[in-house]
Amino acid sequence: MRLIIAEKPSLARSIAEALPGAAQKKDGYLSVGDTEVTWCLGHLLEQAPPDAYDPAFKPWRRDHLPIVPGQWKLVPRPKARGQLSVIRARLKQARQLVHAGDPDREGQLLVQEVIEHLGWKGPVQRLLINDLNRPAVARALGRIEDNARYYPLYRAAQTRARADWLYGINLTRAWTLIGRQAGHDGVLSVGRVQTPVLGLVVRRDEEIRHFTPYPFYVLWAHLRVGAGTLKAWWVPGESHRLDERGRLLDAAPAQTLAERLPGAEGQVSSVDSRRRRQPPPLPYSLSALQVDAARRHGLSAKAVLDICQRLYERHQLITYPRSDCRYLPREHLASLPGQLASACRDDTTLSGWLANADMGLRSRAFDDAKVGAHHALAPTGKPFVAERLSRQEADVYRLIARNVLAQFYPALETQEVKAEFRLLDERFQASGQTLLVPGWKPLFTTRDEPPPLPALVEGEACQALEAQVEQRETRPPEPFTDASLIKAMMNIARYVEDPEVRRTLRETDGLGTEATRAGIIETLLERDYLVRKAKALRATRLGVGLIHSLPEAVSRPERTALWEQRLEGIAEAQAEPEPFVAQLVEDLRTLVGSADSQRLSAALGAAQGESPEAGPASKRGRRTNSPRRSAGRKRRPSRKGSTT
């Protein structure tokens, strides 16, 4: 018997359907001829807690740190024991074994750690699937490879999991222990991902709190040209007092010029007119969807993830949602017209969009080279009936369907004009836009665009009709929301100064993964580090105090980039895990040694009154995280990877 172990039930079903013959459903697996297909449920195993290595580690003590296992252990997750038993029983009957985890680092780890934990000694083959359409799965079954080729990928993922354990367990214990000395009765969790995310919010809040507004002045003039009138803005020269963004800080020059302008004559000094063609926005990844759903419908990142899981598992309306990809396989071009017709027929909004779509178009979204472990979110083709879903589920589904439908609309085409004028030896600027081809834009907004400029000819005369000076005031940055914090995690390189580190972060998935980012935000809320105020996410006194008590390197994202460089070397078989782990242990000795209860106490005191307190829900979470109840207990990792 050949046994195929898939990463998740949906993948197992797709494999079974692509095999020749009818699949028979068994308890925890599917049988098709001489092949059985079973599955994991995300990670079936997790890193063992410290006391599994030595019972002395159950009480939290400073002199135990850093805890470094000599021989690493995995233990079954409590809810996974049943499926693990199924896989164990099927392995005993198997002659051939096929690893069918997702074709990425975590997918390689997730299935292979089960195979090794259960003691399989025979050869293993590798099935790589990134498109669940039946023809694509059937082709993948015809090109199964030797799993040994992907062993370095497994070692890299395994090293990342162990490194996150070392980092999270040791720093969490160290700061919890000094927290007790500083009078805080609760766990102070620290992690490679969650702590830099908290650091982003703390620093943004401090920018807002310490922001000192100041006035600046703008001057505009109504100008008459041959084809009509327009509004142009004065560009003050460097001889005036300007801020770093070129804004005028002294009203007097603007007032003087405004008094002289009415009736003044000048000319159009330059006209730059360009036709711009903008392709439709790509289909959604999970994070991109979370950003848009937060902005358009006020949904939290966690709410969007939960809605997507229901649309995928319960309603079977969308493809696998925990995807970091915004592209679709080229093969989908053949099946999507029928799927969209079926999906959209019972909804007025979607059927209206579908009626105007041109299924003969092919957008940049269909690109096999850019499809990784998963493709972008898309409708499955099952009819969408809004009345059978909650309002929020229907809202999210329409967003997903809209972005796929947009691929069958023409590009948005506009004529953009930028013009400069000279009056009284001063420069003025104006810009405008003319809509040429609306393309996909009507699916996304009904807002009126600003009026275009009248036709302009370089060198033609112009005359100022009136002018006015407006006083404005600088504004602090906006506090983070679910949408902007998810976007910051996706684009974390923007918050890094070192160009080499920034480059590495641009090439990776940022902080967290599609599957974990929402959970990171919720974890920070549950642990009283953040609180929601309306839509804003603000750091609490505890969150501010923790960040200020930690070494700066712990609360910034650079470590993720440095780890990624080392892990990529392991994944490409160019480096070994041992030197990376050894260096981490040395770093941990220094970091643990820097834990200072007086510094933490001072940081918590300084944060008093500067940050909002946590709400009732968070306070309930704090009680469950008492260090006495949590001693030695390892937090469960996410389905794919750790959110520490």
Residue 320 has pLDDT above 90, yes or no: no
The pLDDT-based confidence of 610 (bands split at 50, 70, 90) is: low
Q: What is the pLDDT of residues 190-205, one digit of tens each?
A: 999 999 999 999 999 9
Q: Mapping DSSP to helix (H, G, I), strand (E, B) and coil, where does residue 30 land?
A: strand
**Position 546: which residue type?**
L
Say what the pLDDT of residue 445 is. Answer: 79
196 CB neighbour count, 10 Å cutoff: 24
Domain 295-408 has CATH 1.10.290.10: yes
Q: Pick the residue with more confidence: 350 or 450?
A: 350
Say what the pLDDT of residue 508 is. Answer: 66
C-alpha 12/C-alpha 37 separation (Å) is 6
Residues of the chain with pLDDT > 70, as a percent, come to 93
CATH code of the region 156-210+478-630: 1.10.460.10
Residue 531 has pLDDT above 50, yes or no: yes
List, edge to edge, every strand of the sheet that includes 29-32: 24-25, 29-32, 35-39, 2-6, 96-100, 125-126, 145-146
Write the burial class of residue 218 (CB in 10 Å: 0-12 exposed, 13-18 middle, 19+ buried).
middle
Mean pLDDT computed over every residue of the chain: 90
* Mean pLDDT lowest among 131-145, 330-344, 416-430: 131-145
151 labelled catalytic: no
pTM: 0.84
C-alpha 128/C-alpha 145 separation (Å) is 8
Comma-separated ranges of CATH 1.10.460.10 domains in the chain: 156-210+478-630
Residue 473 has pLDDT above 80, yes or no: yes
Q: Pick the residue with more confidence: 641 or 97?
A: 97
Continuous segment of H or E residues that includes residue 265: strand 265-278
Among the ranges 20-29, 371-380, 622-631, 632-641, which has the highest mean pLDDT value? 20-29
CB 5 within 8 A of CB 40: yes
CB 514 within 8 A of CB 376: no
Provide the CATH topology of domain 2-143: Rossmann fold (3.40.50)
Nearest to 57 by CA among 168, 169, 165: 169
Continuous segment of H or E residues that includes residue 74: strand 74-76
Tokens for 483?
A: 């949408």
Q: What is the pLDDT of residues 176-230, one digit of tens each?
A: 999 999 999 899 999 999 999 999 999 999 999 999 999 999 999 999 999 999 9
Tokens for 235?
A: 């560009």
Comma-separated ranges of CATH 3.40.50.140 domains in the chain: 2-143
Per CATH, the architecture of 215-279+413-473 is what?
Distorted Sandwich (2.70)
Torsions phi, psi of 74, nearest 5? -115, 145
Q: Which of 217, 320, 397, 409 is catalytic?
A: 320
Comma-separated ranges of CATH 2.70.20.10 domains in the chain: 215-279+413-473
51 Cα distance to chain centroid? 34
Say what the pLDDT of residue 613 is. Answer: 62
Residue 631 has pLDDT above 70, yes or no: no
Average pLDDT over residues 398-409: 97
Residue 21 has pLDDT above 70, yes or no: yes
Q: Roughly how many angstroms between the first and final C-alpha of the chain, as a whole number?
A: 40
Question: What are the DSSP calls for 146-199, one per residue?
Answer: EGGGGHHHHHHHHHHHHHHHHHHHHHHHHHHHHHHHTT--S-----TTHHHHHH
473 CB neighbour count, 10 Å cutoff: 8
